[in-house]
Structure 1
Amino acid sequence: MPPCALRAGSPLAPLHRNGRIMRLKLTKTKNLPIGVDLGSSSVKMAQMRVADDGLAMTAAALCEIPRDRRNNPQARMDFLAGVIRENLKSHPFVGNECILSLPAEATVIQHVKLPKLPPQEIAKALRTELQGKLPFAGSDAIIRHIAAGSTYGDGQEKDEIIAVCCSRKTLDGYLEMAQQARLDVLGVNIEAFAVVECFGRLFRRAADAARTILFVDLGAASTQVVLSQGNRVVFARNLKLAGNQFDDVVAKGLKIPLEQASALRRDLGKAQGSDSEEELYHLLEAPLGKLTDELTQCLQYYESVFRNQSIERTIFVGGQASDKRLCQTIAQRLNLPAQIGDPLVRVRRLEGAGMVIGLDRREPQPAWAVAVGLSLGADKAA
């Protein structure tokens, strides 16, 4: 595959049209491309299957990225190529076609207000507007966009555009890694949009288009904030405050190693109500307050653009969302009804799929939202 020769995917290839995520065409039984979620601390792979009787999971794989390789670009790429190649062999994946998601730290999401322009002029106007505002050279920038809706500014109607940007060098590096892993990359997505694609199949009624849902993807290195109306993305932002910062605060407060702090948070998140949990959340008060403030700023921006369209509820996903106390605390401070999202709701699991990694269908699996969404959003017939 030539560098940056992107095919069907989203936002770095045109899977989204006018901000609306294209729906699956459930006509024949077939396996969809593999969703490869390249997170900061782990890689998840999920392949979905569509049939007349609904959705099923064909295969799933999970591998943690060793801490000593997470911040070493070459070591990270070498590890990813090797573990993905091994997963293709050792798990019941069908074929090697896939959709990748770039790690959140490799992308920049910007909301831009533009005058009403012909579609063919928006890309040029965006590049001019973003000049000097990206953490990489404009000549190295790949910029894709979706239209979120109409707004007003300077006394005139404007388009609210969500621009998704990444470095060409970074993208080429991940495409080269995928080639070494023997993946056939059909396209590239971002975590924020994949989350909405994961749950978009549940919002098919006409009334759903008027309902605004807040998705909060609580990850290790970042928190993705996404607002959707039905399956239409109307807001997206990448916050840098996330699980790693929580682990660091706990490690320093209790004077324990970082790995132990992470394990402690994970274990206490599953067993609520202990004195240890109260001590832990006392330590987390400051970063939790900061995260809630940043989330509130996101909601205020949304409300300034989409007036009189209130947010109905919050759905928490991501690896950190397994901590019920964390989700409850954030939801209470936002004063919104909330739930922990389960990407596998209404999904049948084929025999053996996910068994190797211990997917427990009795509990929500919020960490799998991106991987499942990548696969579901990649119907090759679209």
Structure 2
Amino acid sequence: MAFGFTKIKSSPIAVDFGSDSIKVLQIVPTNPPQLIAAASVPIPDHARTDTISRMAFVSEALKNLLDTQPFKGKRAILSIPAFQTIVQHMAIPGNAQDNIEFEIGLNLQQRLNINPNRMIIRHFPCINVVKNGSTQQEIICIAAMKDIIMQYLELAAKCKLDVVGMHSEPVCMLKAFEQLQCPQDTSTAQCYIDIGSATTKVVIAHGSEMVFTKAIHAAGEQFNRQLSVKKKVAYCEARQARIAHAHGIDLEASLNNVLAQSQGGSSHVNDISAQAVIPMAKNEKTLGRREGDKDSIEQETIECLIDEVQMCLRHYHSLFPDKQVQKLIFLGGESNHTNVCQQIAQGVRIAAQLGDPFARLARIGLKNPPIGVDLDQPQPGWAVPMGLCMSEANI
């Protein structure tokens, strides 16, 4: 009789359809998780604003990544992009629990003029509250158009993937860090702020339980546009310059470097080392406000984000007055701009750190170097694909 270790299955292939890039990840879900393959491709300018061009590019890019990288199997789990998702807090009558889907649909129709029959809807209970003498249940509703969901399922089918699940970005953000949380510990509150390209997602959780979320339509695209207009450069050049700037390169030097490359010149940007998880309050040389930030190009968007996060915190505290948010955890590609995160943390007066879902990722025996991701740097923008790998099948 032969004896051996039980072989641990790999996760489904996680596909994150972001507004700025497509990210594909697969791991072995051990503790710590082991990396099988990772790849990222930016969305080109012509496909950012045109849906047909976007879907055509994503389809070809995904096929190429699956063909050239060592992903295993055909099972896949997809994200529902935040910029194509509706997030809404609702108060449902306490006596309507047996008909909660009808109540949610009615709320969407009355408040947002949305036909619920055309939506895929998920809801998450938060807390029971008493308003005007009656008990109501606060819930989080996350919805997306059925047509959009079908487009992504058809795209995956063209890439010969067998889709076993689809999840919204707020859910994935929490899943990415679930192994670091004690499921029974709901006494502490943490606020996850994912600053992406099209949207900023705010998620407040008690342990691993989501109790608040909101999508804010102020994020990286606004920063890039402001720089593009101010410096009179193309949007793509502003974006590339800000990516280099996020790793400590002077902004003017970054712009000159990008412009030289676009004109056929050759120049080189040195890599800047960084910690895997960066406490926002410690390394002031890296994380403190840079000189002149008060008058910076980014300041208008930063102030907008501070105001929005403060409103999120006020809503949360109205529901849970006895549980203060103790920490901000910044995620998303834009969180590499640690001076932006620092200013938001200072604005709301809460301690913060940069979250890195790859910090615990084992990379032994990696067959191919990842495409479009530097494993030597923190990767706050990979929380959604990591969360997808940790999520359950729901299709």
Compute the TM-score of the two structures, normalised by the length of structure 1. 0.86
Q: Aligned partners of 1:343 and 1:263: how far apart in 2? A: 23
Equivalent residue number for residue 94 of structure 1: 72
Render the CA deviation track for 1:270-327: whole Å, top value 9, x for unaligned: 1178888645761211111111101110110000011111001011111101111111
Question: What amino acid maps onto 1:152 in structure 2?
Answer: V
Calculate percent identity across the aligned residue pairs.
31
Answer yes or no: is 1:57 the counterpart of 2:42.
Answer: no
Aligned counterparts, 1:1-382, within 5 A: 29-51=8-30, 54-117=32-95, 119-134=97-112, 136-204=114-182, 206=184, 208-271=185-248, 278=291, 282-352=296-366, 355-357=369-371, 359-378=373-392
Render the CA deviation track for 1:132-177: whole Å, top value 9, x for unaligned: 4346433312222111222222223321110111111111111111
Counterpart of 1:150 in 2: which secondary structure?
strand
On the 8 A contact 1:58/1:350 being kept in 2, the answer is: no
Q: Using a 3 Å threshold, how does the CA distance of structure 1 residues 305 and 205 change in structure 2: closer, same or farther? A: closer
Q: Aligned partners of 2:107 and 2:252: how far apart in 1? A: 52
Q: CA deviation at 1:349?
A: 1.8
Q: CA deviation at 1:91?
A: 1.0
Q: CA deviation at 1:205?
A: 5.8
Question: What amino acid maps onto 2:226 in structure 1?
Answer: V
On the 8 A contact 1:32/1:379 being kept in 2, the answer is: no
Q: CA deviation at 1:268?
A: 1.8
On the 8 A contact 1:223/1:242 being kept in 2, the answer is: yes
Q: Aligned partners of 1:190 and 1:57: how far apart in 2? A: 22
Q: Which has the higher strand share?
A: 1
On the 8 A contact 2:39/2:372 being kept in 1, the answer is: no
Q: CA deviation at 1:353?
A: 5.9
Regions of 4+ moved over 4 Å:
272-281
Q: Which runs of 5+ in 2 are unaligned?
A: 1-5, 254-289
Q: Aligned partners of 2:113 and 2:51: how far apart in 1? A: 17
- Say what the alpha-carbon RMSD is for the aligned residues: 2.2
Question: What amino acid maps onto 1:344 in structure 2?
Answer: F
Question: What amino acid maps onto 2:155 in structure 1?
Answer: M
Q: Aligned partners of 1:353 and 1:217: how far apart in 2? A: 30
More off after superposition, 232-241 vs 140-149:
140-149
Q: Which runs of 5+ in 1 are unaligned?
A: 1-26
Q: CA deviation at 1:118?
A: 5.9
Equivalent residue number for residue 3 of structure 1: none
Counterpart of 2:370 in 1: which secondary structure?
coil
Question: What amino acid maps onto 1:266 in structure 2?
Answer: I
Q: CA deviation at 1:364?
A: 1.6
Counterpart of 2:369 in 1: which secondary structure?
coil
On the 8 A contact 1:227/1:234 being kept in 2, the answer is: yes
Q: Aligned partners of 2:59 and 2:78: how far apart in 1? A: 13
More off after superposition, 143-152 vs 195-204:
143-152
Q: Using a 3 Å threshold, how does the CA distance of structure 1 residues 85 and 134 change in structure 2: closer, same or farther? A: farther
Render the CA deviation track for 1:206-243: whole Å, top value 9, x for unaligned: 3x321111000000110011011111000111111000
Counterpart of 1:163 in 2: which secondary structure?
strand
Equivalent residue number for residue 10 of structure 1: none
Q: Which has the larger radius of gyration?
A: 2
Which structure is higher in RCO with an 8 Å CA cutoff and minimum separation 6?
1
Render the CA deviation track for 1:36-95: whole Å, top value 9, x for unaligned: 1100011001112124x5321111111111110122111211111111122111111111
Q: CA deviation at 1:34?
A: 1.5
Counterpart of 2:128 in 1: which secondary structure?
strand
Compute the TM-score of the two structures, normalised by the length of structure 2. 0.84
Counterpart of 1:121 in 2: which secondary structure?
helix
Question: What amino acid maps onto 1:342 in structure 2?
Answer: D
Equivalent residue number for residue 265 of structure 2: none
Total equivalences in the alignment: 353
